[in-house]
C-alpha cells in the first residue's frame, strides 16, 4: 500500500507540555516528508490499548513514549535494540514488516548534546546524580562513548545500588555507587574526592521544584562541565549553583530533548535531521514565554 502521510505520535500522561510535535514537524520539513506527528494522552493503565489503536492505522510508522509508559512499551514490543535492553526502557517504537522494535534514543540524545557543546566524553570521570529512568536510560550510550568511570549518587541508596548492578550486568565499565555504605556518609565521601569529576549530570527531577541535591559545593569547583537534564524557561537552580562556583560549561536538557528526537527520526526514516536551528528556535520561544 502506498503511504500518503506517515503518522506518528508521542504517548504520555500528562502530555500537553510536550514539544515533540514541533520538533518532528521541523525535521520532516527538512526532507519534505509528509509526517503527521501528534501528542496522545494514554490513560495511566491503558498504554497497550492506545498503541493498538495507533497501529491499527497502516500509515502509522512509529511512536515516541514518555513518562509513565516507557516500561509498558518495553514489555509490549516484539524485540528490543541493545540500547533499549540495556536502558531497561523504550522511548521509540519502530514498525517493521517483522513486528515492533523498541529502541531508546535518550542516551544517544544526551551524548550528542554533550558533544555539540564540545564536552569531552571519552576518558571522562562522571558523577551521575539520580538513579531513576533518565539516569538508567543515559548510561548505556555514555558507556558506549568510552566514559572512563561513573559514580552514581542518589537519595535512595538501594536504587543506586540496583542501577549499578543492572549496568554492570550489561557492560564492562567501571561503575560504582556513592555513598558506598549509608546515606549519612555520602556528602563526606564526595567531598573527599581527590580527582575532580570531569562531568556532573543532574538526572533527578529536583530542578522542577527549584531544589538542589544535597551535595557539597566542593564537587563543582573546577568541574569543567555540568549538565541538568531538566530544562526550564530560565537557568535551573542547579545550573545557577554550578555557574556561581565557576563551572565553565553549564547546560540544561533542552538539547538532549532535540537530539533524542533526531535519533528517533533517524530510526524511522534513516535520515539524520539538522538539529541546530530547531534547538535555537525552541530556546528562543522558551525565553520569550
Q: What residues make contact with ligand NDP under the rule CB under 6 A?
A: 67, 106, 130-135, 154-156, 159, 203-206, 208, 213, 229-231, 253, 256-257, 260
Q: How near is the Cβ of 82 to ligand NDP at its closest, in Å?
A: 19
Cell 514518555 locates to: 66
Provide the strand spans (E) within 188-274: 199-202, 225-228, 249-252
In angstroms, give the least distance from the CB of 98 to ligand NDP. 29
If the CB atoms of residues 63 and 135 are measured against ligand NDP, the closer one turns out to be 135
| Closest approach of ligand NDP to the CB of residue 66, in Å | 8
In angstroms, what CA-CA distances link 159 with 34, 131, 165, 213?
A: 43, 6, 10, 16
Which DSSP letter does residue 196 get?
P
Nearest-CB residue to ligand NDP? 132
Measured from the CB atom, the residue of 165 and 246 that comes closer to ligand NDP is: 165
103, three cell numbers: 529502541
271 is a catalytic site residue: no
DSSP 249: E
State the minimum distance, in angstroms, from the CB of residue 28 to ligand NDP: 20
Tell which residue, 134, 155, 135, has the closest CA to residue 214: 155
Please list the residues that pair with 79 across neighbouring strands. Answer: 101
Write out the DSSP string of 77-116: SSEE-HHHHHHT--SEEEEETTEEEEE--HHHHHHHHHHH
Q: Which of 39, 70, 125, 136 is catalytic?
A: 70
Residue whose CB is less far from ligand NDP, 83 or 260: 260
Q: Which is nearer to ligand NDP, 63 or 131 (CB)?
A: 131
The residues annotated with a catalytic role in the active site are 70
Amino acid at each position: 500500500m502506498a503511504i500518503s502521510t506517515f503518522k506518528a505520535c508521542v504517548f504520555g500522561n500528562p502530555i500537553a507540555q510536550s514539544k515533540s510535535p514541533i520538533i518532528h514537524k521541523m525535521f520532516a520539513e527538512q526532507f519534505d516528508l509528509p509526517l503527521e506527528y501528534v501528542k496522545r494522552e494514554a490513560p495511566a493503565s491503558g498504554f497497550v490499548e492506545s498503541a493498538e489503536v495507533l497501529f491499527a492505522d497502516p500509515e502509522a510508522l512509529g511512536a515516541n513514549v514518555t513518562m509513565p509508559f516507557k516500561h509498558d512499551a518495553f514489555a509490549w514490543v516484539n524485540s528490543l535494540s541493545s540500547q533499549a535492553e540495556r536502558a531497561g526502557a523504550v522511548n521509540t517504537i519502530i514498525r517493521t514488516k517483522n513486528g515492533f522494535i523498541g529502541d531508546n534514543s535518550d542516551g544517544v540524545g544526551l551524548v550528542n548534546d554533550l558533544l555539540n557543546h564540545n564536552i569531552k566524553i571519552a576518558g571522562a570521570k562522571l558523577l551521575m546524580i539520580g538513579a531513576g529512568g533518565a539516569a538508567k536510560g543515559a548510561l548505556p550510550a555514555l558507556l558506549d562513548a568510552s566514559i572512563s568511570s561513573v559514580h552514581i549518587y542518589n537519595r535512595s541508596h538501594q536504587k543506586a545500588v540496583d542501577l549499578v548492578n543492572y549496568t554492570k550486568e550489561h557492560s564492562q565499565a567501571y561503575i560504582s555507587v556513592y555513598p558506598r555504605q549509608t546515606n549519612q556518609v555520602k556528602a563526606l565521601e564526595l567531598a573527599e574526592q581527590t580527582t575532580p569529576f570531569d562531568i556532573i549530570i543532574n538526572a533527578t527531577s529536583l530542578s522542577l521544584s527549584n531544589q538542589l541535591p544535597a551535595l557539597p559545593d566542593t564537587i563543582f569547583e573546577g568541574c569543567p562541565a555540568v549538565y541538568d537534564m531538566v530544562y526550564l524557561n530560565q537557568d535551573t537552580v542547579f545550573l545557577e549553583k554550578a555557574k556561581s562556583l565557576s563551572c565553565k560549561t553549564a547546560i540544561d536538557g533542552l538539547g538532549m530533548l532535540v537530539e533524542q528526537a533526531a535519533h528517533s527520526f533517524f530510526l524511522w526514516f534513516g535520515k539524520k535531521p539538522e538539529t541546530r536551528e530547531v534547538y535555537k528556535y525552541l530556546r528562543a520561544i522558551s525565553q520569550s514565554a
